[in-house]
Structure 1
Amino acid sequence: MKNKLSRASLLAAAVLAAAGGAHAQGDVSFNAAVANDYVWRGVSQTDNGATVQGGVDYTNGGFYVGAWASNVDFGSDADIEVDLYGGFRGAFTDALSWDVGVIGYFYPGEEDLDFVEVKAGLGYTVDAVSLGATAYYDPDNKNTYVEGTGAYAFSEKLKGLASVGNYSFDGGGDYTNWSLGGAYAFDVFDLTVKYTDTDIDDAVAGDVADENFVVMISKVF
């Protein structure tokens, strides 16, 4: 456990140092959202309750770093999740892009839940179609998550969204999750509606992994 926490602390320090030492000519953006549920990899993180979320991102060329937070409800002492992340992204061609980075998930009040993932992903966009594939690996717990995503732009404002992912745990209990929905960009906010589900048995996770409809209003500024 000490090793896990030390890695998480090192990640936090590295992300904050990178943000503090970043060149002033980079771009800073903020994001905020409210939704009826916080569903992550098919499983509710708020016990099927509402969520308020927000974050900040800094980008400079291919480098990016950021922080994001949300309320959570696991029935434990953890009431909030704070994510710190950073990495590099670029493009091989006009259509094919890449992204590598690291993400730390922190739960003040329940530090035993903290963990870190490294990730690598590819994206492909042609005309109105966008496809993505990303692999995440947790070196401390030896867990792997692989996800494929797809989007189709019906217009400048309306797009269809789909995803499928598989979570593989070193100790067993692997599962698959998927989602289907759409997003519409209004003038003052974005509206996203998704249907999500998993193949987790109710006897294992209860109703937090059941089929769900998530409605989110978000804004980047």
Structure 2
Amino acid sequence: MLKSCVILFSVLAVCPLAHAQIFQRELGDFDLKLGTTPSRSMAQGLVKPTAPGSDAFHGGLDLSHDSGLYFGQFSPNMGLSPASTLEVDSYMGFKQPFDQTLGYEVGLIHYSYPKLSPLDSQAFYGGLNLLGNRFGVSFSHDPDRQDSTLFADLGGTQPFGIGVSMKYTTHQLGTPTSVDGGAISSFSDWSVQLSRAWKGVDLDLIYSDSSLSGGDCSAYSGHNSQCDGLLTLKAVRSFY
């Protein structure tokens, strides 16, 4: 049963860099990318997606070699507003296709919060790309918790032009959180997203939920913006 429903309409017209801008050039055997959106499908989005409501200003760089080796940095949050915190994600990995239909990717990503250094963490990630569909897994180790994520993006199979992506994560807390009637040491959350472009507007229908409910939600600290079931309709239009 859905416990809440939210409809969000966003218009990105603040500056030209607000929507998926990428500058790319070749440097010998290396390929350099500078942009406002993550260049790596696995290094960003799989492990810790950009939180809703984060700064409009974000970006980074990515340097990849013909051999498949790559590394880079991306800041999903520049910490420009009082309610946000500067985050810098540094990553390196290896990506290689077997042929035109199958490939793999493995890597390591380090999350740094310069203003909150004790919260630095790292994660290992990997995945397969099969006919344009991505399947990934990640394991992260923070100072006080461990998270394991399974991810699937069926971008290569879009019935009626609708993209489907799913994520499931288990969270193991280092220190149990006290709640009414006991303590919470672990929980899980998940989300399903349907995406479609319509007349220049990117439409996303997202359902998210977790294994916690009621008073236990005071212990929630997962990927979703809300502990209880949430249905969100998001519409984004770029004027650039």
Shift of 1:134: 1.9
In the alignment of these two chains, the number of paired residues is 182
Q: 1:52 aligns with which of 42, 51, 55?
A: 55
Mapped to 2, the partners of 1:208 and 1:177 lie a distance apart of: 10
User: SS of the counterpart of 1:85?
Assistant: strand
Q: Secondary structure in 1 aligned to 2:36?
A: strand
Question: Mind listing any 5+ residue stretches in structure 2 that lack a counterpart?
Answer: 1-26, 39-45, 177-184
- Select the structure that is richer in helix: 1
Q: Give the share of equivalent positions with the same residue, in percent.
A: 8
Alignment of 1:98-109 (within 5 A): 98-106=105-113, 108=115
Residue 135 of structure 2: aligned partner: 131
Matched, 1:85 2:103: no
Aligned to 1:202, the other structure's residue is in SS state helix
1:160 to 157, 161, 164: 164
Give 1:96 shift: 3.7
The answer on whether the counterparts of 2:148 and 2:170 sit within 8 Å (CA) in structure 1 is yes
1:130-186 residue CA offsets vs partner (Å, 9 max, x unmatched)? 322222223xx2632111111223169641111111112222322111000122356
Supply the distance in 1 between the matched residues of 2:111 and 2:235 (Cα, whole angstroms): 24
Q: Tell me which structure has the larger Cα radius of gyration.
A: 2
CA distance in 2 between counterparts of 1:112 and 1:65 reads 20
Query: What's the RMSD between the two structures over aligned residues?
Result: 4.0
Cα distance in structure 2, aligned partners of 1:91 and 1:69: 26
Kept in 2, the 8 Å contact 1:32–1:218? The answer is no
**Where does residue 211 of structure 1 map in the other structure?**
229
Is 1:202 aligned with 2:202? no
| TM-score between the two structures when normalised by the length of structure 1 | 0.63
Contact 1:157 1:184 in 2 (8 A): yes
Question: Equivalents in 1 of 2:50, 2:35: separation in Å?
Answer: 24
2:123 is equivalent to residue 118 of structure 1:
yes
Question: Please, which runs of 5 or more residues in structure 1 have no aligned partner?
Answer: 1-22, 34-39
Residue identity in the other structure for 2:111: G
